[in-house]
Amino acid sequence: MNLQFDDTIVALASAPGSGAAGLIRISGNEILPCLQDCFDSDAKWQNSRLPTRYSGTIKLAGSDSRLPGALYFWPTARSFTGQPLAEFHTVSSPPLLESAIENLAAHGARMARPGEFTLRAFLAGRVDLVQAEAVLGVIDAYDHEELNLALSQLAGGVSTRIGAARVDLLELLSELEAGLDFVEEDIEFIDRETLVNRLQKIREFCEQLYLDSSERMESTGSLSLVLAGLPNAGKSTLYNALVGDEQAALVSDIEGTTRDYLVTSLNWSGQPIQLIDTAGLEAGVHEISVSAQQFRQQQMAQADLVVWCTAADLRPELRSIDQSQRTQLAESLNVITVLTKSDLSPALNGDAACEVALSVAEESGLEDLKHAVLSRLSESRRGSRQLIGSTASRCRDSLRQAGHSLQAAEEAAQLQVGEELVAIEIRGALQHLGQIVGQVYTDDILDRIFSKFCIGK
């Protein structure tokens, strides 16, 4: 990758296709001659260090035609890219925007490569590597949760915490090395208990981020919602109602009709969901029954939320089994309990253990179930994730190595084997954390990250 970024670059920064507005972005240390040749305004160019807005027209290539709009000019290194930056806002068709870009390219600018604007911002120290990846995360976010996560990362939420951990490690390292300089005087700059406690706190932070990165790598974007319960609990009927297809799953009064599991992709209020119908809980002895129960256990273990279906007409001798199973599941899984077939036994609708009562036959309670599911999923995800998927994938090994170095430093401090060994492990942890935020990087890392960007970002 060519890391030279003194030349002037230009690109269409708005989404391709027709839209309410178009945006052309230009950046470079020699941007002003290019703008003076291509942009005409009634106002004179101001010799100001403050951002300035100009109204005027930009020339199109190969003609005397002009495109009206507004030019926003950041003349100093305080811009996003760390160098003079201009953005031309207009309402126009893509061909005219491309013609304006062609004319700018003919007057000293060149077409920007994918992600080059954000790359320049990173190289200028305006954003770190975690924030740079969040730019693409904002663009690619598939729901509000992902968007909020990317915006939080872009604002520096994770970077601030990693930066604080690095500062703490640097302070520990300086105190240890100061102690090494005065080893003959037997001066202790930091006591062992304080050293161990601070190392443990940072290690736990890195381990939590590592666990979070593992979850993000396993995430597919859609949340899995599993319907479970005893046989003949109305799971398949509910599945058909939620899917909107009465024949999606085979429905019968005979217990154990469902042997395999069915999966359908849904979208509830912008949230992608994988709805999964599983076999009812039973102690089968046949090979097919055993396989069905294995599938059932596997799907529930991987589910973001299990909807336990309790039938209103459940036989009295099965009620204790039903209650025992849903209680046991709730100890390790995210479970919401619904009362199905509520039209058959209205007296049970007040069951305190059931959060939603519904009847597919009477078409009641389905919307209540959707709202309850979305609310529960939102609660379970809120605050539990700190990294977008692309960052998690890149940082996973660095976080693991940082955790190992901190663990080794902590053990060395506890065993009092020598402060120089503790210092070596702390330097290793600093190296790995530096790779996450971009204090330490290679051209290959930058090329792998920014090649995924679109042009103009």
Bridge partners, residue 364, by sequence: 359
For residues 279 and 245, give the distance between their C-alpha atoms in angstroms, rounded to a whole number: 19
Q: Rounded to 5, what percent of the chain is helix, strand, coil?
A: 50, 15, 35
Q: Is 52 annotated as a binding residue?
A: no
The Cα 100–Cα 59 span in angstroms is 6
Q: Is 382 annotated as a binding residue?
A: no
Q: Is 184 annotated among the ligand-binding residues?
A: no
Whether residue 224 is annotated as binding a ligand: the answer is no
Q: Is 292 annotated as a binding-site member?
A: no
235 is in an annotated binding site: yes
220 assigned ligand-binding residue: no
Q: Is 304 annotated as a binding residue?
A: no
Residue 160 is labelled as binding a ligand? no
Q: Count the neighbouring beta carbons within 10 Å of the beta carbon of residue 107.
A: 16
Q: What is the DSSP string of 30-87?
A: THHHHHHHHEEESSPPP--SS-EEEEEEEEPTTSS-EEEEEEEEE-STTSTTSS-EEE
Q: Is there a binding annotation on residue 277?
A: yes
30, HSE (Cβ side, Cα atoms, 13 Å)? 10
Q: Was 197 annotated as part of a binding site?
A: no
Angle made by CA atoms 265, 266, 272, in degrees to the nearest 5: 90
Give the integer Cα–Cα distance in Å for 335 and 184: 62
Q: Is 313 annotated as a binding residue?
A: no
> 28 forms bridges with which residues in the sheet?
none
Kindly provide the residue ranges of all beta strands, DSSP E only, lying in 203-320, ordered along the sequence.
Answer: 223-229, 262-268, 271-277, 305-311
Q: Is 280 annotated as a binding residue?
A: yes
357 is an annotated ligand-binding site residue: no
Does the annotation place 69 within a ligand binding site? Answer: no
Is 233 known as a binding-site position?
A: yes
Tell whether residue 157 is among the known ligand binding residues: no
**What is d(CA 408, CA 66) in angstroms, rounded to the nearest whole number?**
66
Cα–Cα distances in angstroms (integers) from residue 273 to residues 33, 223, 322, 326, 440, in the given order: 53, 5, 26, 22, 39
- The rounded distance, in Å, linking the Cα atoms of 374 and 273 is 10
Tokens, residue 13? 């920064």
- Please state, in angstroms and rounded to a whole number, the distance separating the CA atoms of residues 361 and 363: 6
255 is in an annotated binding site: yes
Is 334 annotated in some ligand binding site?
no
Q: Is 118 annotated as a binding residue?
A: no
User: With contact defined as beta carbons under 8 Å apart, do 137 and 388 qualify?
Assistant: yes
Closest CA to 395 of 208, 223, 219: 208
- Reduce the DSSP state of residue 88 to 3 states and report it: strand
Q: Which amino acid is at 338?
A: V
Q: Is 140 annotated as a binding residue?
A: no
**Residues in binding site for Mg(2+):** 236, 258
Task: Write out the binding residues for (6S)-5-formyl-5,6,7,8-tetrahydrofolate.
Answer: 25, 87, 126, 457
Q: Specify binding-site residues for K(+).
A: 232, 252, 254, 257
| Binding-site residue ranges | 25, 87, 126, 232-237, 252-258, 277-280, 457
Tell me the binding residues for GTP. 232-237, 252-258, 277-280
